[in-house]
Structure 1
């Protein structure tokens, strides 16, 4: 294992400047505190602005970059991991995930709920996504504990179990992001040109 340096463990963006997310995500996005982003409330008949859609797309890129970093850690277990990287992720993972989920639930979910009259399954879909958000946060806490243990030089659980935990987490996040990108965001974008209320009036 690579020992942590004495430098500050202020979490950087996990993509280290190599993907577009760094250009769009605030520099302090990975501050290790679970703070609720300040986002104005939204009615379901208010279409999303392009900047809001872009914000969610950038958050998706950030989540996928995090998954890539977790996968690299899983691939390098037990002896090739960077302990400082583990400590950084242990501090940042849960708070970053919470902020990303809050943005989605505040900006996108109310808009998508406006389609319930045309798509009765939408309410069930949004409820399932909220449940997945909560499950992912709980899982992230376990991942953080494991990363902290490895970062502090006390590997627990065993490498095989740690790798299984990591892969279960980042594969679930990737599936969640893929569904939102392929199914929900295009629908939210469509509402910029044809809000659900207008569609219903013309139906």
Structure 2
């Protein structure tokens, strides 16, 4: 299989008969957007090229179980589409994969895996004010949670949120706000384990 693999940067629109070896670097919760269930992932290859992928509707449950975070897979012959409109670009490519149950997906052997220590580019807290208004700059943070505030309802937006105090290796503190879609999936874990000061990674944050 290795000799058949190309890189994410070489995939073009309407490409056929291709295979890549990638690691699942990012994975969102399953959400309803525009009346459809969907899930987004970011694949990274050994050249550190990144491409976002999306799964829709009836394919979500099966592929969510198959594609585990930080595991390496051979993926082939998914549809390649251009990212249009206001859809954020989470990778280095302006294209995205459309994954389905008919896509070739097979987890690699352990000795074939891509190491995860070369795929992350973390943003120092000190640089956040400089890049806050740069739409093409993705904010990825490595931090510990040191304090949890109670959930609250914001009258202006009619939404619930919860604030957390986080700190990074610069020993700078910051408020991390989780909105409704994350209150069920992420907030309970942070609240339960704050006393251990868990070290966490978050991707594609807004500042």
Q: Would you tell me which structure has more helix in proportion to its own residues? A: 1
Larger relative contact order (Cα-Cα within 8 Å, sequence gap ≥ 6): 1
TM-score, with length taken from structure 2: 0.22
TM-score, with length taken from structure 1: 0.22
Q: Would you tell me which structure has more strand in proportion to its own residues? A: 2
